[in-house]
Chains A and B, each alone.
Chain A
């Protein structure tokens, strides 16, 4: 019987620790355990055999840290390790058909981008090489274990899926707070891994069985897959310089029995456990009744930290990351201004949405590239689950692939072409898919008709093995102004689809009011009506106070808001903001000028002051006689060291706010800039605060800044500078080790684009250093960078 079938038939036992046993047999601190597969094959075989005799069904080959980053003889290491395990099975005198060899795949030891420097695709490649060798040398399954990063876990699973048909078991490392090192909780991991279609999931290492109990309960409650529990032998402590664990085999087995009774069905051990621990665990649990994993109906989407359940309580999906009808957003996309996209995301999260829709579709841009870049950037700073929203299937796949979690997919519809393209992706990468009730015949006019299209999509999903719980049907709200029945039909559809088909529903709400005046109030009431008919999630604009009010009020009235605390919080925010605005307008005095606000770094107030001034003065007057003099004064004080960097920045940002206000009056976006400057932190360096500060200041002084970010290869800097004919390049580096990269960048610029001038700056640089590496200018700080730009561009004029 293969292990996939066995999982549903009875309890399976893994082996226990390997490291301690090898140390007992002479492995020294500096030695790599994986090498012992080649140098001491008999020792490995003996340990495997001990575990088989103790009752383990699965023995893990000695391949935990084997990958091409650490070993040049990877194939030999992997083949030897699997041979040693195979040999143990041959020597085993019990039922050999009950023994399985797991290829053990641990973390790469590198942190993935964006937190670290290992690209996701590279991680997949590293794991893929392992998986191919595992398959070649006869592993029966793959255990991906001791993973403390959800993203790396996903890379390993994708590699396993794409390079073999072997069963995939996955265990993650949770700390006592119930989080992975990179922040994911158990529901987030369950959602993502179920979506990816692995065979069994669970936890190992770091904690003893007792500390794992709360996690085991969560896994059994939320997971439809069999649950694996491989704890350490308790918590470690030092005894005469050696590491010992605080639980003996009897206590261990006793708690493992409790864990088995909770419903975990794959049991084993990790650090500190020995064949004795496994033997006693088997004895204690083998006669307990076996209950196979039960399918759960939770609809989860997840980010790299948490899962959002779409079920009882209404869920809001923020729609603002979308260029439709937004001039400024389109401009940001054309200029590849990811920062603007991020600020839209952060603002929506602060307003309280649960999921962010990401749509960057614009005919003239490379959507595959921008969508992927946007998803990467958003998940670096925003921990909400994302809804990947595109009609371009290739872009959808790329984004789903690099997404760190289980995304929402917007969307599939009832057309054959759409289902054929989208559903295989949902099956492969996992996700909750939005199904629009439209097909080759258009949008049906009745609730019955829309329900029929939904049913057709659900049936097609079933063919792929996509469960109903992972489908959100959107019956499409059409403008009530063009058809007075459309509100009612949509609401009836929500209720009918929910009741008859047992799926969850979603709606893009704002469409209902298209063509009407005072749209916000229509939307707000429609939202409440739809929730009342059972709508589970709404794609909406959280900037609309009316809709947010409708949402908070609805929750309070329906009893989802304990003590009405969320509602009260929302209501008092609204009141405070109103009060703030009035008091701001009333106070007057000598300290109450725009100049003062900028110099003192009062960011919000500077915006209000500028708006106030606009009533009396012309925009350009405000810039020339208030903003620029204030900035100059601050810059001068900074250079005289009477004012400090954070203050300089606060002032610059206050000036930025004032500009923003003034710009609305000028009504021309992107007034002519004084010059264009490219800034970047060089290859190998990940510290970018100095460069970011320079950027803020330069922008305030009226320059257009192209920011390439951190860790930027020389070729990229040269390419962008050349293509856009940017004549001033600012390079930043913090570490001595990366000044070399700065030098290389300058050399390449000299060869490829000699017209460009280069200014350099950063903690380790000096004037002498700058000269030595061939820079044109040395900026001792960000203000110095501004002065260089001022001088260079005025000279040009």
Chain B
């Protein structure tokens, strides 16, 4: 069963510390930058369209480095370690929506500074959205830390299978490019192991 989620960006929020880190800044921000930050934040709240799809998958292992999911097999020692002891996991795709991409492009045409600040806020926003989903799933399950393809030696190839498994393009409008990047770019896929409490 694929579960579709959506939430108002204002309720999910963003993370200023994280956004500043993406910008390469530390708080407190200078006065002019602080003002720009607030403007871009407001714009993000008005343009973000948070959507996600979640589905459960079985988990089993081959050798020390391969994990078998319902959507395919992934070779990665760190993912294998991450999911150690799990028989089930959640896999999800989350996005801040296409309007954020267009706004980024539009802003950077007017000003690269605006574009950069907005883009970093959006990155932190989509992370917060993932955290939110994580918390929701954690209400009824004990979870392992979230793991995203592209990290820990997990090849991006698996994105193709995840996208089919979650029906991502149809459900939340995110698609993969030939080079396996997600568009809209402010999107995330992740696997979260479910800790089997009986064990």
Query: Which residues of A come within 8 Å of B, CB atoms?
Result: 29-30, 107, 109-111, 115-117, 146, 148-149, 173, 181-183, 236, 238, 241-243, 339, 342-343, 346, 380-383, 600-603, 644-647, 649-650, 652-653, 684-687, 689, 692-693, 695-696, 735, 737-738
Given the known inter-chain contacts A30-B71, A601-B33, A646-B113, please indicate yes or no for A117 contacting B178, CB distance below 8 A.
yes
Q: Which residues of A contact B101 (CB under 8 A)?
A: 115
B36 interfacial contact with A, CB 8 Å:
yes
User: Which partner residue on chain A sits nearest B2 by CB separation?
Assistant: A243
Closest 6 CB pairs of A and B: A181-B173, A684-B179, A649-B113, A644-B25, A111-B175, A381-B106
> Within the complex, what minimum Cβ distance (angstroms) separates A563 from chain B?
23
Q: Is B70 an interface residue (CB 8 A)?
A: yes
Closest residue to A740 on the B side, CB-wise? B179
Q: Offer 28 A-B interface pairs, CB within 8 angstroms, sorted by A.
A: A29-B165, A111-B169, A117-B178, A181-B172, A181-B173, A241-B56, A339-B109, A342-B109, A346-B106, A600-B30, A600-B32, A601-B32, A601-B33, A601-B113, A644-B24, A645-B24, A646-B23, A647-B30, A647-B32, A647-B33, A652-B113, A684-B181, A685-B179, A686-B183, A689-B116, A735-B179, A737-B156, A737-B181
Closest A residue to B156 by beta carbon equals A737
For A109, A173, A738, which residue has the most chain B Cβ atoms within 10 angstroms? Answer: A109
Would you list which residues of chain B between 42 and 87 have a CB under 8 Å from chain A?
56, 70-71
Chain A positions within 8 Å of B119 at CB level: 689
User: Is residue B139 contacting chain A, with contact meaning CB distance below 8 A?
Assistant: no
Cβ proximity bits B119-160 to A, threshold 8 Å, 1 near / 0 not: 100000000000000000000000000000000000010000
A107 touches which of B109, B169, B178 (Cβ 8 Å): B169
Q: Which residues of B contact A111 (CB under 8 A)?
A: 169, 173-175, 177, 183
B110 lies within 8 A of chain A by Cβ: yes
B142 CB, nearest partner CB in chain A, Å: 19
Q: Cβ of A645 and Cβ of B23 under 8 Å apart?
A: yes
Contact with A along B100-123 (1 / 0, CB 8 A): 011011101111110111010000
Q: A692 near B99 (CB under 8 angstroms)?
A: no
Chain B residues lying within 8 Å of A242, measured Cβ to Cβ, are 1
Q: B184: nearest residue on chain A (CB-CB)?
A: A115
With a cutoff of 8 Å between Cβ atoms, the chain B residues found around residue A652 in the complex are 112-113
What is the chain B residue whose CB lies nearest that of A109? B169
Find the residue from B2, B110, B112 having the highest chain A CB count within 10 A.
B112
Which residues of the other chain, B, contact A684 by a CB distance below 8 angstroms? 177-179, 181
Interfacial chain B residues near A346, Cβ < 8 Å: 106, 109-110
Q: Which of B5-51 contact A (CB under 8 A)?
A: 23-26, 30-33, 36
Chain B 161-199 near chain A by CB (<8 Å), digits 1 or 0: 000010001101111111111011100000000000000
Complex contacts, A735 vs chain B, CB 8 Å: 179, 181
**How many pairs of A and B residues are in contact by the CB < 8 Å rule?**
141
Chain B, residue nearest A339 (CB) = B109
Asked whether B1 lies within 8 Å of A687 as measured between CB atoms, the reply is: no
Minimal Cβ-Cβ distance residue in B for A242: B1
The docked-state distance in angstroms from the alpha carbon of A684 to that of B177 is 8
Contact A646 B116, beta carbon cutoff 8 Å: yes
Q: Give the distance to chain B from A113, nearest Cβ to Cβ, in Å.
A: 10
- B113 & A653 in contact (Cβ 8 Å cutoff): yes
Judge whether B98 and A181 touch: CB under 8 Å.
Answer: yes
Q: What chain A residues lie within 8 Å of B165 (beta carbons)?
A: 29
The answer to whether A182 and B173 touch across the interface, beta carbons within 8 angstroms, is yes
In the bound complex, what is the Cα–Cα distance between A695 and B98 (angstroms)? 25
Q: In the bound complex, how far is the Cα of B70 from the Cα of A34, in angstroms?
A: 20
Give the B interface residue count (CB, 8 A). Answer: 50
Say whether A737 contacts B180, CB under 8 Å: yes
B184 neighbours in A (Cβ, 8 Å): 115
Given the known interface contacts A148-B173, A603-B111, the answer about A645 and B116 at a Cβ–Cβ threshold of 8 Å is yes
Give the residue name and chain of the A residue nearest to B179 (CB): A684
- CB <8 Å contact, A382 and B106: yes
* Cβ-neighbour of A692 out of B23, B56, B98, B112 (below 8 A): B112
CA distance A426 to B115 in the complex (A): 38
Given contacts A380-B102, A645-B25, contact A692 B115 (CB under 8 A): yes
A602 engages B32 (CB within 8 Å): yes
Determine the chain A residues whose CB is within 8 A of the CB of B32 once the complex forms: 600-602, 647, 650
A647 vs B117: C-alpha distance when bound (angstroms): 10
- Contact B170–A653 (Cβ < 8 Å): no
Residue numbers in B under 8 Å from A603 (CB-CB): 111
CA distance A600 to B181 in the complex (A): 36
Rounded to whole Å, the gap between the CB of A225 and the closest CB of chain B is 25
A738 touches B179 (CB 8 A): yes
Residue with the highest number of chain B CB atoms closer than 10 Å, among A115, A600, A695:
A115
CA separation between A603 and B112, bound complex, in Å?
12
* Residues of A contacting B4 in the complex (Cβ-Cβ under 8 angstroms): 236
CB-based nearest A residue for B181: A686
A183 with B25: CB separation less than 8 A? no
The answer to whether A650 touches B185 (Cβ under 8 A) is: no
Alpha-carbon distance between A341 and B1 when the two chains are bound, in angstroms: 47
Are A182 and B98 in contact, with the CB atoms below 8 A?
yes
Chain B residues near A30: list those with CB within 8 A.
Answer: 70-71
Chain B residues, Cβ within 8 Å of A646: 23-25, 33, 36, 113, 116-117
Residues of A within 8 A of B113 (CB): 601, 646, 649-650, 652-653
Q: How far is the CA of A171 from the CA of B50 in the complex (A)?
A: 24
A182-B173, A644-B24 are contacts. A116–B183 as well, Cβ < 8 Å? yes
| Minimum Cβ distance to chain B for residue A681 (Å) | 12
Chain A residues whose C-beta falls within 8 Å of the C-beta of B176 in the assembled complex: 110
Q: Which chain A residues lie closer than 8 Å to B98 at the CB level?
A: 115, 181-183
How close is A405's CB to chain B, nearest CB, in angstroms?
15
Cβ–Cβ < 8 Å partners of B109 in chain A: 339, 342-343, 346, 381
Note all chain B residues with C-beta closer than 8 A to A173.
170
Q: How far, in angstroms, from A576 to B99 measured CA to CA in the complex?
A: 30
Chain A residue nearest to B30 in the complex (CB) = A647
Closest to B103 in A: A381
A116 touches B175 (CB 8 A): yes
Q: Which residues of A contact B115 (CB under 8 A)?
A: 689, 692
Q: Which of A115, A646, A687 has the most CB of B within 10 A?
A: A646
Docked-complex contact B25 and A687, CB < 8 angstroms? no
A655 to chain B, nearest CB (A): 12
Across the interface, do B170 and A146 meet the contact criterion of CB distance under 8 Å? Answer: yes
**Who on chain A is nearest to B176 by CB?**
A110
Closest to B4 in A: A236
B113: min CB distance to chain A, Å: 4
On chain A, the residues within 8 Å of B178 by CB distance are 117, 684
A109 and B110 contacting across the interface, CB-CB below 8 Å: no
Residue numbers in B under 8 Å from A649 (CB-CB): 111-113, 116
Which B residues touch A146, using CB under 8 A? 170
Given contacts A29-B70, A646-B116, A689-B116, contact A110 B1 (CB under 8 A): no
Name which residue of chain A comes closest to B161, CB basis. A30
| Distance (whole angstroms) from the CB of A693 to the closest CB of chain B | 5
Q: Tell me the bound Cα distance from A238 to B140 in angstroms.
A: 15
Bound-state Cα–Cα, A279 to B161, Å: 37
A693 touches B173 (CB 8 A): no
Q: Are A653 and B111 in contact (CB under 8 A)?
A: yes
Interchain CB contact under 8 A, A644 and B183: no
Given contacts A243-B1, A602-B32, A653-B111, 6 further A-B contacts (CB under 8 A): A111-B174, A644-B33, A650-B36, A686-B177, A693-B112, A737-B180
* Cβ contacts under 8 Å, A738 to chain B: 179
Q: How far is the CB of B52 from chain A (nearest CB, A)?
A: 14
Query: Within 8 Å CB of B175, what residues of A?
Result: 109-111, 116
Q: Which of B1, B3, B173, B177 contacts A117 (CB 8 A)?
A: B177
Contacts of A342 on B, CB cut-off 8 Å?
109
Chain B residues in 8 Å Cβ range of A602: 32
**What are the residues of chain A within 8 A of B71 when measuring CB–CB?**
30
In the bound complex, residues from chain A placing their C-beta under 8 Å from that of B170 are 107, 146, 148, 173
| Chain B neighbourhood of A381, CB < 8 A | 102, 105-106, 109
A241: B residues at CB distance < 8 A: 1, 56
User: Which of B4, B25, B32, B174 neighbours the largest number of chain A CB atoms within 10 Å of its CB?
Assistant: B32
Known contacts: A111-B175, A646-B33, A692-B115. The answer to whether A117 contacts B183 by CB under 8 A is yes
